[in-house]
Amino acid sequence: MTHPTPPPAPKFTHTPDSVISNTKRIIESSRTVQDKITKEVTPDNATFGAVLEPLAIDENHMGLEAAILGFYQHVSTDKVLRDASSEAEKLLDDFGIESSMREDIYKLVSAVYKANKEKPIDESPEARRLLEKMNQDYERNGLGLSESDRARFKEIKKELSLLSIDFSKRLGEENGGIWFKPEELKGVPEDVISTFKKGKGEDEGKLFCSFKYPDLFPMMKYAVNPETRKQVFLGNENKCNDNVDLFRKAMKLRDEKARLLGFKSHAEFQLATKMAKTPAKVMEFLNDLRSRLQPGGKEEIHGLRSLKKADLKEIGLQDDGKYYLWDHRYYDRLLLEKKYQLDAQKIAEYFPLTHTIDGMLKIFEVLFGLEFVEVTDDSKNVWHEDTKQFRVYNEKPSDGSEQTFVGWLYLDLHPRDGKYGHAANFNLQPGFTDENGKRHYPATALVCNFSKPTPTKPSLLKHDEVVTLFHELGHGIHDLVAITNYSRFHGTNVVRDFVEAPSQMLENWCWTVSELTSLSSHYKTGESIPKDMIDNIIRTKNINASLFNLRQLHFAFYDMKVHDLATPEDAEKVDPTSEYNNLRTDITMLDPPKGMDDHFGHGEATFGHLMGGYDAGYYGYLWSQVFSTDMFYTAFKKAPMDAATGRRYRHAVLEKGGSRDEMDSLKDFLGREPNSDAFFEDLGLGKKA
C-alpha cells in the first residue's frame, strides 16, 4: 500500500558546536521579535494581532528546534554532546525567564487582556485562552512585584533552573552499583545475571549489579538472600547523595519565590492553576484515600509476613517478625507465584518486545483510526541505531480520498550508558497551524529501559513492563493526535493533574482477555498466552494494591510536606531526608533498617519527578487515576475495542490538548461531571461513601 509523502522528519545530526550555535540563534531571533513588538506597539494601541499573534508564532517556530536541542542530554552516547545539550537547556531556560519577566511585553499583553474583559475580542476560543494564559503567566512570573523583589524573583528562577538541570544530569549519569559473588545472587534469573559486568583484578569472579532498572528490579524481586536485597536497596537509596543539597536548596527557593508573589506556600502557588486548586483539596483527597487504603494494607502485610516467616524457615534463616522495605518486591512476587501461580518470567516469554509493540500499535490503529508505518529505508534518521522510527497516518478514508499524515513516532527502548534511566515520553516537535494556515506535524519519542536481547533470547517484557509501554505510548498518542493552533496547547501541554489521565486509561487494555491474547506470541513457539495464565494476571490486578497505592501516597504526602510549609522558617527547619524516611515508614507500613536512624537513605535525592516538574503535583498520578478509571468504566469497559468510542475519545479529549479547559473535555466525553465511584470499585473498595 502506498502512502502520501510525509513532510520532512526532524534531523538528529547536531554536533556539540551546532547545538550551542543553533540555541543562540533561536534565542536571538525570538528576542528580536519581542523587541520589535515593543518598538511598534504601545499599551494604547495594543491588539491581539499586534502583540499576541507574533509572540505565539515565534513560540510555535521556536518549538520546532528547542526540544530536540535539549533532548540529546537524555539519549546521546556522546558525553560532549550530552553536556552541550544540558548547556543549551540552561540557555533556553535563562532566556525563558528573561522573556517571562519583560515588563514592556507584559504591559502590552495586560492592555489587550483588560480590553478583552471590557469587550470580548473577535477571536477564536483558543486565541482567547491564549490571551488568558499568557497574561496569567506574566503575573505568576512576578511582574506585579517591586523592582527589587522582581530582581530577586528572577534570580531564584535562574537558580532553580540550574538546580533542576544539575539534579537530572547527576541522576542520569549515575553509574554506581555493587560487586557480588555468584552465590549471593541465588534466585536471580540467569538471563539477567548473564548481562552483568564480570570482575577483574580484586573483583575477579564477582559480578556487577548496577542501579539501572533492568538490574535493580530483578535483584529486588528474585534474590533469595535478604542481605543481598538489603545491600541493593540501600545502595540504590544512596546512589546520588550529591543531589541531597540540591533538593534542599530547591525546596527553600521555591518557598521563597511563592511568598514573594503573596502565596502562603509553593504548593498554594502551584495548585492555583491546576484542577485541584488548593492544598486543602489535595490533602482532603490524599487523607481520604489513605484512610480507605490502610486497613487493606495492614491485611496485605499480615499475609506477606506469614509468607516471609515460612520462606525464611525453608532456607534456614531466623525470622525477626519484621517486613522490611527490601522485602516487599520479593514477597509480593513470591505470593503471586505461590498462591496465584503467576510467574512473571514465564509470562514474559509470551511478550517478546517487537511482537508486543506491533500488537500494541494495532490496538491503537483500530481504536483511534491511525496507521503506523516503520521507516526502514535510507530516509531513517535517528539519534541511536537501536531507535525505531514510524510515520503515523490517519487511516485511509472510506470515500477513496488520500490518507493524511499525523506525525512522527520514535521508540528508544533499551538502556545504555548516559541514557535517561526511567521510562518517559518526550515531545520533540509540537504540532500547530502556522500563520499561513500550514500544518506543522508533531514528533514524539518513547525513551524506556527494557532489557536488551541476548544471543539466546529476544527482549522479553514482564507484564508490568507491557503496562509501562502502554502508559508511555498513551502520552505519545496524546502528542500525535492533538490538533491545536498554538504549540503551547499541543498534546500533553495540559494541566499537570490531568496529564496522566489519558495514558493511565490506556493501561486498562493490559488487563483485558482479548487484548492480552492479541499482544502475545511465545518467543519460541509463537503460541498465544494460555487463557488460564491471562485469568491469573487479571485476577491479581489488585493483589497488594493497597500497598502499591500507599507507596504512591508516600510520594504524594512527602511532596506536599516539603512544598506546603507553614512559615519561611520551616524551610530551614524541615529535614527533607528525615521527612522522606519517616513518612515512608508511617504511610507504607514497611519496616526501615534496624539500628539505623532516619538517614539510612536519601530517596529524595533520586526523586527526579520533584525536580522535573511534578513539585507540589505528584498527587496528580492518583488524582488523574480517578478520571482515567471513570472514563474507562463509563465508555470502554464493556467493549474495549469499540472503534466509534475510541474515535469519540480521540476527538473529545486527545485532540483538544490544553486548548480548552480540561474539565470541559472530560465532561464532554463522559456526558456528566466525573466522580470517584469507578476508582474505588476498581480497587475493590466499593463506591466512596
Q: Which of 661, 689, 688, 662 is nearest to 677 (CA)?
A: 688
Residue 432 bridge partners (DSSP): 440
Concerning whether 314 is annotated as a catalytic residue, the answer is no
One-letter amino acid for residue 430 of the chain: P
Cell of 2: 502506498
The DSSP bridge pattern shows strands 405-412 and 388-394 to be antiparallel
Whole-angstrom distance, CA of residue 310 vs CA of residue 514: 37
Q: Are 431 and 60 in contact (CB under 8 A)?
A: no
Q: Cell numbers for 297, please give them.
A: 494494607
The radius of gyration computed from the CA coordinates of the chain, to the nearest angstrom, equals 26
Strand 405-412 and strand 443-447: the pairing is: parallel
Nine cell digits for residue 349: 516469554
Catalytic residue among 268, 472, 507, 515: 472
What is 502-540 written as a DSSP string?
Answer: HHHHHGGGGGSHHHHHHH---TTT-PPPPHHHHHHHHHT
Give the largest CA-CA distance in the chain: 84
**Own/partner pairs, 579-584, CB within 8 angstroms, 24+ separation:** 580/604, 583/554, 583/557, 583/558, 584/325, 584/554, 584/558
**How far apart are alpha carbons 562 and 246 in whole angstroms?**
14
d(CA 560, CA 286): 10
Is residue 495 helix, strand or coil?
coil
Catalytic residue positions, numbered? 472
